[in-house]
Amino acid sequence: MFERPFKLIGVISLLIILLIFCHSGSPLLAVQLVLPGVPVYHWQYGCAPTSGGMLLGYWDARGYDLIAGDISATDSAAALDAIASTGHVADYWGDPDPLAQNHVNDSLADFMGTSVGGGTADGSTSSANVVPGLENFAAWDDPSTGGINESYLFDAAIFWTIQAWPGFGTFNFSLFKSEIDALRPVLLGGMVPGGGHMVIGYGYDDPDNVPDSGDEKFAVHDTWYDGVLPGSPSDQLGATISGGVEWWPWKQTQIGNYWIEAGVTFLPLGAPPGVPEPAEWVMLLIITIVLAVWHKGLFIQSESSHGGIRF
């Protein structure tokens, strides 16, 4: 007579676990996760807009038409133009800037202020401009594409490590992992051999699953080099290649001339067109129906097996 309550408890526990799993969208206790679908673009007049372009390309492939045209291929013309347009290059490339601004902002490098201003070196981007640049480009509707809407609301935020903001830094490997588990790539900025740099992190490797144990790595698309070339900055900082993925060691305190200073998160505020947003009450309704059907089946079975005795 106690068999059915224990079965019921087991089913409820399983459904709760599935609900948590589906809501998080992530594997439980994963030690390695690499997000598919992050496009590869090589350096296009600035590492910040180029890495940001890969971030936009990832979300573009998920229903948010942030960039007109096919941008899935490596270094597609549409993607590179969206990163730094010919107007941007003509107005701002060259120190000092060769011309006053003769074009309206039409690329991510424009919105990020890359190379803009007499005191800004070619290809450099102020950290203060990365977040508003991403948000404003995502919200911008390119007038040259006619009736196609490329305007979407995204929330970007920058978080600093202790190395960059002693006593106040909050960004660490655990937070980076949580973003990857939520299927959201992260822009990572810091110092590498050769100077300040920004890349896109799209995966993690944490063999012992212990925070700050020193063995953590992250998957990266570097805009400067393909792979780990002898003597290159990635080679000097200890990068490796495994399974076709370039892995950089996670260092958020100064180790020689390499450390991570900041992470930039980027998430959509709403579902893409035609995709209904998941609601927890819908999931709970499904669970309720499943439980009701399962309970009814047991009740009928108990009546037929035990002469109508109800438990």
Question: Is the separation of the CB atoms in 199 and 51 below 8 Å?
Answer: yes
Does this model's pTM top 0.85? My answer is no
- Give the pLDDT of residue 12: 52
Tokens of 289: 């129906």
Q: What is the DSSP letter of 290?
A: H
CA distance 137 to 168: 29
CA distance 206 to 216: 5
Q: Where are the domains of the chain?
A: 3-19+280-305, 31-268
Tens of pLDDT along the chain (311 residues) come to: 445 554 555 545 544 444 444 444 444 456 999 999 999 999 999 999 999 999 999 999 999 999 988 999 999 999 999 999 999 999 999 877 776 678 999 999 999 999 998 778 999 999 999 999 999 999 999 888 877 788 999 999 999 998 888 888 899 999 999 999 999 999 999 999 989 999 999 999 999 887 777 899 999 999 998 889 999 999 999 999 999 999 999 998 887 889 999 999 999 998 887 655 444 444 545 555 555 555 555 433 433 333 332 22
- Give the pLDDT of residue 40: 96
- Give the pLDDT of residue 167: 81
- Give the pLDDT of residue 162: 87
CA distance 11 to 18: 11
Tokens of 98: 């060769």
- Give the pLDDT of residue 278: 46
Please tell me the CATH code under which domain 31-268 is placed: 3.90.70
Q: Which of 22, 13, 4, 17 is nearest to 182 (CA)?
A: 22
- Give the pLDDT of residue 99: 66
- Give the pLDDT of residue 21: 42
Phi, psi of 186 (to 5 degrees): -130, 140
Question: Is the separation of the CB atoms in 257 and 191 below 8 Å?
Answer: yes
CA distance 103 to 90: 9
Q: Which of 121, 119, 125, 95 is nearest to 107 (CA)?
A: 125
- Give the pLDDT of residue 305: 39
Tokens of 103: 């074009």
